[in-house]
Amino acid sequence: MKKIYFLLSCLIAVTSYGQTIYTENFGTPASTTLITAYTGWQASTPIAYSGSGDVRTSSASTGYVGASGSGNVFLTSTAGKNLIISGINTSTFTASDIQLSFGYTTSSTTTQLVVEKSTDGTTWAPITFTNNANTNWNLVTIPGGQIPASTTLSLRFTQPATAQMRIDDVKLAAVSASCTLVLGTPVIACVASTSALDNYTATIPFTGGATGTYVITATGATITGDNPSTAATGSVILTYSESTLGTYSVVIASGPTCSFTFNVTSPDSCIGTNTVPVNEPFNYTAGTALNFSQMWKNTSVGSDEILAVAGNLSYTGITATGNSVALAGTGSDTLLPFTDSTSGDIYASFLIKVTDLTGISTTGSTYFATFSNATNVYSGKIWIKTNGTQFQYGISTTTVTADIVWSPNLYNVNTTQYLVLGYNFTNNLLALYENPTIGGSSSASISTTPAAALTSIANFIFRQDSATSTPAMILDELKITTTPNFTLSNQSFSQIDGLKMYPNPAKNNLFIETALNSDINVAIVDVLGKEVINSKVSNSAVNISGLTPGMYIVKITEEGKTSTKKLIIE
């Protein structure tokens, strides 16, 4: 499983409102854990946690300013499930200034959370607040006046009936009653999208200004827009260089109890859409993460980045320049966007050398390269799996194992292959060419007709799955084009006219007919990629009586045209 981090979102999070007294985001539990057994609290001794709920990572908080995601307290549909937070010291603050806020979601708007306070842990008094009007995550903010100043404050959150509830980002802050400034939902955006370094902005709308003198501190940013010291409403605009990647603190303050502290997290990259044809020689300094370039961005982040490495792969007819990149088996998925293709042909070609199969499952398979559409739904995939001490490639447009068409070609570790993945919109055909002759002619090694035709191809992605499924590999000389650098001698993207294959499922004989009824060759491959039959069709029939029941791939070739179909043998 991949771990998706918030660096992928263009977000801005409030980490403090006024002067923070207490804050708890519930950390990141390794698994669902009872409150009484959990040790990953953000705020610990003298704070104590009890109750009958649990801490988990599912349905992480989102959608409100300051949502931390990851761990949250879950109160099941059993009435009475609760969370109790004890030992909070608010004694040095004025009760009218103590503000309580928390993220909250409920599965039923007719059943709402009960929030209570206590100064002795025995006698509890209700805290009133505006209930959620929907079942989404919402930030509940309770103004000063309800939370007492006490050295032994406790808060209790209870699910009173049959509804599921979650709580996150519990916070107490001292906010002066005279602080009228209210900040709206911030927006982060790239100023431009080109192949050069751009800027990104954090725009923070506000109301209630012009009631005090505010000082804005934002490290690394140019501050423009409206000034809340003089403007009643407007937006503060912070502009950062795109090369300033990371998380940066922003403070808007008028005294200690009218203070807002933000963390601004940069976008992963303000990249533009690469114009086809795209030439990517990986001309980056060794050790550079691929997503830090101006052509790529991460679509997920894991424990390892795809990194540039020194040197090139070699292949006859291809002049390699720059460096290359390496996958480590687990980590980030990195995407190159290009001009959206909706018709004709599109090809992605690259050199690849698998350098290590150690630890890779001999039965498993994974896809490591894929097309995706304009909304980044993965489509045409290149799969890889081990076969003894060797490996082989396959293609599909789904993640269903039975849909993968495996090439019969086997390769050794530390050998270089030239792969070309192509899709033809007219005939709805996905094809993989293995080691074609540059400047010569070539036919597809394998091809498949997707059940659902692709309507858009706008991205190419290198994907890392896991340490036991994605082998270590080096990749070089990626190109995205509308024509290959070889001739399609067999018109690979042409279907065989009038092709019929029956019965399916079959048992003893398979019948194949075409409009031409010319010489037809049939190759049948099992699910492991082993070719079990390769013969000419005689009297429209192929004897399959010797094959064991199961699923097979049938590759039918007639006068240079090839079609691939699935076959079930009973």
Asked whether residue 389 falls in the same domain as residue 522, the answer is: no
Asked whether residue 86 falls in the same domain as residue 112, the answer is: yes
Q: Where is average pLDDT lowest: 9-18, 26-35, 177-186, 281-290?
A: 9-18
How many domains in the chain?
4
Asked whether residue 102 falls in the same domain as residue 34, the answer is: yes
Confidence check: pLDDT of 15 > 50: no
H-state helical runs in 215-264 = none
Q: Which of 246, 267, 294 is the last residue of a domain?
A: 246
Tell me, yes or no, whether 269 lies in a domain.
Answer: no
Confidence check: pLDDT of 206 > 80: yes
Whole-number Cα distances in Å, 425 to 340, 344, 554: 12, 5, 22
Asked whether residue 484 falls in the same domain as residue 517, the answer is: no
Query: Do 42 and 71 contact (CB within 8 A), yes or no?
Result: no
Output the domain CATH number for residue 82.
2.60.120.260
pTM: 0.56
Confidence check: pLDDT of 5 > 50: no
> 508: phi > 0 → left, psi -120 to 50 → alpha, else beta; which?
alpha
Tell me, yes or no, whether 2 lies in a domain.
Answer: no
**DSSP β-bridge partners for residue 500:** 513
State which amino acid sits at residue 480.
I
Q: Which of 174, 199, 221 is the last residue of a domain?
A: 174
> 374: phi > 0 → left, psi -120 to 50 → alpha, else beta; which?
alpha
User: Residue 328 belongs to what domain range?
Assistant: 278-488
Alpha-carbon dihedral 88, 91, 92, 95, rounded to 10 degrees: 100
Which stretches does DSSP call E strand in 482-559? 487-488, 500-502, 509-513, 520-526, 531-536, 541-543, 550-558
| Largest Cα span, the chain | 95
Asked whether residue 137 falls in the same domain as residue 195, the answer is: no
How do strand 125-126 and strand 561-569 relate by DSSP bridges? unpaired
Asked whether residue 143 falls in the same domain as residue 35, the answer is: yes
Output the domain CATH number for residue 283.
2.60.120.200
What's 3's DSSP letter? P
**Tens-place pLDDT, residues 40-71:** 999 999 999 999 999 999 999 988 877 888 89
CA 434 – CA 442 distance, rounded (Å): 9
Asked whether residue 469 falls in the same domain as residue 445, the answer is: yes
**Tens-place pLDDT, residues 407-455:** 989 999 999 999 999 999 988 999 999 999 999 888 888 888 888 899 9
Asked whether residue 111 falls in the same domain as residue 169, the answer is: yes
Tell me, yes or no, whether 266 lies in a domain.
Answer: no
CA 429 – CA 423 distance, rounded (Å): 6
pLDDT-based confidence at 18, cuts 50/70/90?
low
Instruction: Work out the average pLDDT over 177-195.
Output: 77
CA 403 – CA 81 distance, rounded (Å): 46
CA 439 – CA 170 distance, rounded (Å): 65
Greatest mean pLDDT range, 86-95, 295-304, 483-492: 86-95
Confidence check: pLDDT of 376 > 80: yes
Asked whether residue 370 falls in the same domain as residue 473, the answer is: yes
How do strand 199-207 and strand 234-241 relate by DSSP bridges? antiparallel
Q: Report the chain's C-alpha Rg in angstroms.
A: 30
Asked whether residue 373 falls in the same domain as residue 425, the answer is: yes
